[in-house]
Homo-oligomer: A and B are copies of this chain.
Amino acid sequence: MSNTELKDFFPIWNKLTEAQQQRLLTAAELRSAKGGTILHNGSMDCLGLLLIRSGQLRVYTLSSEGREITLYRLFELDTCLFSASCVMPDIQFDVVVEAEKDSDFYILPSCLFKDLMEESAAIANYANQLISSRFSEVMWLMDQIMWKSFDKRLAKFLLEESALEGSPSLKLTHERIANHMGTAREVVTRMLRYFQSEGMVTLTRGAVELTDPARLEQLAE
């Protein structure tokens, strides 16, 4: 891994000693994963910090009954901290990290990260920043779940997916949407049919086409 590349992931690179920088450079291992691969599954493993070069990761939780809700996505230049959550004993919850698209990333071993957090205030504060950002995303999500009606949340979700894919045509089953949003498939189907009756989307097998994004925007506001 090149020095220049690591700098992009660690805004605090210059606060590290040369020895620390060298340990990071030596330990970082390049990996790739096909879309659909589970990279980290709760407390069962502790892969390490993932520095994403390309692709898209999805971080979600599972209820005891196996229902999913997407907490957030990670993209190019993001760092996935929860795949190293074993080094933070006060994180008392499990998440699953999935490569949602084909992805390339560096892995930094958890034990190295733990050592560096203990010896470097800069690294510890960097971990702090990462946790705070993810915490903020989860608080935003909770706000949505608590106070926004499902039609607004679904409209927003479809618009965000469409922006991510760069297309008004989304290859998503109702089941998959339900897993993102933490609800039942029937609830999604019912609302999508309502959107269709209003001319905002067209439904075909395994796909949703956004036919009136402007009205979806209006609804999402």
Contacts and interface: CB of A to CB of B under 8 A. Distances in A.
Q: Name the prevailing secondary structure of the A interface residues.
A: helix
Nearest to A119: B121
A88 B129 CA distance: 7
Given A121-B117, A121-B118, A124-B121, A90 B182 contact: no
Nearest to A91: B132
Contacts of A67: 146-147
Interface stretch (A37-45, A105-113, A136-144, A163-171): A136-144
Nearest to A120: B121
B142 A138 contact: yes
Contacts of A128: 88, 90, 117, 124, 127-128, 131
A142 B140 contact: no
Given A117-B125, A121-B121, A128-B127, A138 B139 contact: yes
B139 A93 contact: yes
Which of A64, A89, A128 counts the most chain B CB atoms within 10 A?
A128
A95 to B, nearest CB: 9
A60 to B, nearest CB: 12
Interface in A125-161: 125, 127-136, 138-143, 145-147
Of the listed residues A63, A88, A135, the one surrounded by the most CB atoms of chain B closer than 10 A to its CB is A135
